[in-house]
Chains A and B, each alone.
Chain A
């Protein structure tokens, strides 16, 4: 069954501005983790805002749990939990008070809500700090509480907008593991991120988005096949200004598909890394560049992104 069906969604923030979301269509099936992967400004938050009925689409529409986001906003809101990218908490209240308030806003109450608050606090490892004010929490704890609030009422679909931005590795691990566990219990998830590792680890299917356009969509295996048998060769130079020069110099190498530079970091998309490497190294020494580190990678989402856009994901 289809939990989300987005049809040609378009969003323009200003009448004559660019399309922040440009004709995006996709489906999220019941029980899956669906990720939107894309760099900052790609349009991920805008898509979540439209699907969660915060923003009206400029064009197109979508159904969530069978309800139209344009005409059945209330029913949509009852079907989803949203974890916004920015923390949305009352810092002067305790964790438990925050959970209680947001639970009541969902129409929950009484003993059921009390039980759920306890459960969510335990799940997010916040039980001991339940009575403490959120303003005394670490960034990771605030993120976990922000997530817990989105889960109240156990809706069938949770939308998580970059829930791991700017937190410590432990909290990130905690959140990723929790998302997987939650999904295993049957909750469908829309997850956005600009970390390809996260998308790769979590998702059943991934949509890659750039400049408002959904440029490809499929399972990890399907996406890797887009790149073919290519490998990724990553070189780090001591000279940060040398990246661009080297990228241009290696343009003629046999088996090269794409080359991009990010300061001193050069990323090459090649048929076989061992074959290309000697030539790349000799070009580098011709240019007087010294190499600090070399890395060879199997195809992954970053190679896919590079292949499709000509840019590295974190440009």
Chain B
């Protein structure tokens, strides 16, 4: 059986590269597109100067108190463009400050602010960090002011609640002011070769985004090509000939799919390597995580190709469906532009596509150095797609006419 599978894999590679032109589609075009699209995306996401990037944060506040104002100020100081609005738009970052925020904080009670974030957006982690930093700073100041006024009360410097309140606000305001120029600062230096993964750079750069996007796009064409090769064997008459060999049907179908999978993985490896060598893309911190995402995505897509094969009748149909689907899945899945620029309905549709999960996982790897554990949910979803598509595909597969 191994001999047969190897023969089928070798046959597929030989046929794929029988005409040298296929190397253009397999490797050269994807790299050219990466270069071109990367240059274009670079402008959009402000890759060159991280300082210029300011995430937009909409804030709905139910509290007009001094501490709420101070919180807004603190948010503005941490590199966020803050818009106070009566309602929060759905498609961007939003923060809710509850009613009674100031009074509760003053009386030392815990308060919860709610950050509406966008999991698919590469900037979401940065925004979360900023808001935490601002909240932490505010909390620290509130604690100092609280301790200060308790102490003042103990010393009987203040007696009435009004005095107490005025004292608190005084201490708070001064501490806030003083903490704007912290006495001790940490300056982080990296060896030149290492790219700092600190806050603003946590966005995938234009080239990284493009590398992942083009990889997903072009590899999909190869892997969905499973549909084309199965139809091709049927129409050529070679499928009948395969089926009367002693190899057996399960082996033959596995061999065809395995061969496509291998082609896709070889292409992925070349594009991952090309991205790293030519464009300096760092595909995450853990090679195993990148490998898992890639293999799971390949399995899901080759399974989808097998399923498509059961619907198409002619070579022409097969190749237009394959290219059309690869393009549509790439566009919907966020391979061509970040999903955060799209409306919510679009994102909802996108979340049922394997390409979306692959892009999400690749973005996690690129922007956040995601670990194996981080990408496991995406990998699991992709494997789920793979199993689903393959099972339905086999069930629908007609062996002969």
Q: A-B contact count, CB below 8 Å?
A: 66
Q: Are B400 and A54 in contact (CB under 8 A)?
A: yes
Q: Interface-forming stretch among A74-82, A239-247, A284-292? A: A74-82
| Known contacts A78-B246, A105-B247, A106-B246; A88/B14 CB under 8 A | no
Interface-located stretch among B82-90, B125-133, B202-210, B236-244: B236-244
Residues 25-52 of A, flagged 1 when their CB comes within 8 A of B and 0 if not, give 0000000000000000000000001001
B3 contacts A104, C-beta separation under 8 Å: yes
For the complex, what is the distance from the CA of A97 to the CA of B244, rounded to whole Å? Answer: 19
CA distance A214 to B243 in the complex (A): 27
Q: How far is the CB of B250 from chain A (nearest CB, A)?
A: 12
In the complex, what residues of A have CB within 8 A of residue B8's CB? 105
Interface residue B193 (Cβ < 8 Å from any Cβ of A): no
A88 to nearest B CB, angstroms?
4
Q: Which residue of B lies closest to A97 (CB)?
A: B14
B189 interface contact, C-beta 8 A: no
| Residue A24 CB within 8 A of the other chain | no
Total interface residues on A, CB under 8 Å, equals 28
A199 to chain B, nearest CB (A): 24
The residue in chain A whose Cβ has the minimal distance to the Cβ of B236 is A88
B4 touches A107 (CB 8 A): yes
Contact A88 B19 (CB under 8 A): no
Q: Is the CB of B241 within 8 A of A88?
A: yes
**Cα(A102)–Cα(B400), bound, Å:** 19
A84 to B238, CA, bound (A): 9
Known: A55-B400, A92-B15. A106 touches B240 (CB 8 A): no
| Contact assessment for B18 and A92 in the assembled complex, using a CB-CB cutoff below 8 Å | yes
Tell me, in angstroms, the Cα distance from A162 to B19 when the chains sit together. 32
Known A77-B245, A84-B237, A93-B15; contact A104-B4, beta-carbon cutoff 8 A: yes
Annotate A47-91 by CB proximity to B: 1 below 8 A, 0 otherwise: 001001111000000000000000000100110101010111110
* A residues whose Cβ falls under 8 Å from a Cβ of B: 49, 52-55, 74, 77-78, 80, 82, 84, 86-90, 92-93, 97, 101-102, 104-107, 109, 133, 149
What are the 6 closest A-B residue pairs judged by CB atoms, nearest first?
Answer: A104-B7, A92-B18, A88-B241, A88-B237, A105-B245, A86-B237
Identify 4 new A-B residue pairs, CB closer than 8 A, beyond the known A54-B244, A82-B241, A105-B245: A78-B246, A88-B236, A102-B245, A104-B7
Interchain residue pairs with CB less than 8 A apart (14) = A52-B244, A80-B244, A84-B237, A84-B240, A88-B240, A92-B18, A92-B19, A93-B14, A93-B18, A102-B245, A104-B7, A105-B4, A107-B4, A149-B241
Which residues of chain B have a CB within 8 Å of any CB of chain A? 3-4, 6-8, 10-11, 14-15, 18-19, 236-238, 240-248, 400
